[in-house]
Amino acid sequence: MLRLVLVRHGQTDANLNHFLQGQSDGELNATGLQQAEELAKHLKDFPIDQIFSSNMRRAQDTAATIARYHSLTVKTTPLVGEWHCGVLDGLPAEVFRKKLQESVVPLSLFRPEGGENLLEVRQRAADFLSELTANYKGQTVLVCSHGDFMRALMSLLLQIDIEEASGIYFDNASYTILDLEEGRWNLVALNQTSGSNGLLVSGRAVKK
């Protein structure tokens, strides 16, 4: 079995103010730093073998906080970086919604100028999954990433389209757990936080 623990980074000012962040390198704010620490303490007794992060500071800092409790080194990879939203980076989220409505393409094919579409994000996710399944069987791998990337990844894991996956919400400093068993990914826990009633029973994360 391969267990995948997906973590969204802690809060940034862009998150707080509902601005697109994309691949701009925003830092955790005071709330985000506290969230990361609380999540790290919550996960300190989870068996974790590997920790990956995107190469953006908000994700790296969240991952490093978790890694301290497991004596692990964080491995960074651009494959799990956030959606490159091009000219929309740093603009209010409502601008993105307006641009999407004005376009004549579905969400999965919407490409902001200078950026990528979500099918390309999903391809990055597929490349990363191939690496995990080839090299980390039998392990628990925590990946600290970003909301839009995680939704693209979930579309693969749950075998749903990107438009459906776009309805999945991840809180800042939340974790989601999936297990790969007999070639199928099974969702074990979704959008749990340090305040959630999540626990480990016989090595599996379940809700009370």
pLDDT in tens, 48-85: 999 999 999 999 999 999 999 999 999 999 999 999 99
Q: What is the pLDDT, as a whole number, of residue 197?
A: 56
Residue 101: pLDDT above 80?
Answer: yes
Domain of 41, CATH number, reads 3.40.50.1240
What is the arithmetic mean of pLDDT over 3-25?
96
Q: What percent of the chain stands above pLDDT 70?
A: 94
Distance CA 152, CA 158 (A): 10
**How many structural domains is the chain composed of?**
1
Domain that includes residue 22, residue range: 2-207
